[in-house]
């Protein structure tokens, strides 16, 4: 946790407010953001790994129309799952999704856990995915830190570090410290979208960024 001071508090309050405002005005809309069904949130997050939102969007309706709940996915034929998600280049993930569904049915009676430690016991679920389920399905105020979020936090607050987002424990701790106590769903989606649309890895659109007034990166590059 960073040393508390007045300037940091001002920056954090500004950051929270502007991120939420950005999302409410310019946030992306996806069907997996329009539900708090833990099953849909969990599977969507797993499908979004190593692929794009647009690709997942193309198969979203077909997948959840055929497998609307975890018990149906657990009973599905592997080839039937592959026929839908194979177009994403995720054929290896086919058997994994079925095994995950079977584990949820076997160990949790078909209910996606709302506890981080239990979620982390699920096949293929790491800290980001676990927190995404808690944040987007169970409305808990926990951070989600992927590459985009890490870049926004590091640039705005002037945090040095090159570790991958999933491995940067100090950054996760700071992200938790910065979390607001309300509108956390909008806040998390807002950082994700700002990183994807504005604070890009290359050629960031700093002039259009709602955070530029206090952004350390913007100040140092202008």
User: Would you give the distance in Å from CA 160 to the centre of its chain?
Assistant: 22
Distance CA 171, CA 63 (A): 35
Distance CA 118, CA 31 (A): 26
Known catalytic membership, residue 189:
no
Known catalytic membership, residue 13:
no
203: left (phi over 0), alpha (psi -120 to 50) or beta: left
Q: Taken in order 164, 167, 172, 174, is the CA torsion positive or negative? A: negative
Longest dimension (CA), the chain: 58
Distance CA 24, CA 187 (A): 9
Please state, in angstroms and as integers, the Cα–Cα distance from residue 22 to each residue in 84, 124, 151, 184, following that order: 34, 32, 17, 13
Q: Which of 199, 183, 204, 186 lies closest to 147, judged by CA? A: 199
Known catalytic membership, residue 45:
yes
The one catalytic residue in 146, 168, 217, 218 is 146
The one catalytic residue in 23, 39, 45, 189 is 45
Sole residue written with tokens 């590059």: 221
The one catalytic residue in 23, 39, 82, 128 is 128
Cβ atoms 133, 112 nearer than 8 A: yes
Length of the chain: 222
Residues annotated as part of the active site: 45, 128, 146
């Amino acid at each position: 946790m960073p040393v508390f001071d007045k300037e940091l508090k001002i920056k954090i309050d500004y950051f929270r407010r502007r991120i939420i405002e950005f999302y409410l005005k310019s946030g992306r809309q996806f069907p997996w953001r329009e539900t708090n069904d833990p099953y849909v949130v969990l599977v969507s997050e797993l499908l979004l790994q190593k692929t794009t939102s647009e690709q997942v969007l193309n198969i979203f309706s077909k997948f959840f129309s055929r497998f609307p709940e975890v018990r149906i996915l657990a009973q599905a034929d592997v080839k039937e799952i592959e026929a839908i998600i194979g177009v994403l280049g995720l054929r290896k993930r086919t058997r994994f999704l079925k095994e995950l569904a079977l584990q949820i049915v076997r160990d949790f009676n078909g209910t996606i856990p709302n506890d981080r430690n239990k979620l982390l016991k699920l096949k293929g679920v790491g800290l980001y995915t676990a927190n995404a389920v808690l944040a987007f399905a169970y409305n808990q105020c926990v951070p989600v830190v992927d590459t985009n979020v890490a870049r926004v936090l590091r640039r705005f607050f002037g945090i040095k570090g090159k570790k991958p987002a999933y491995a940067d424990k100090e950054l996760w701790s700071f992200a938790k410290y910065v979390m607001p106590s309300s509108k956390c769903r909008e806040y998390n989606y807002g950082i994700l979208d700002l990183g994807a649309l504005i604070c890009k890895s290359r050629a960031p659109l700093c002039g259009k960024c709602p955070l530029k007034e206090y952004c350390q990166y913007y100040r140092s590059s202008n």
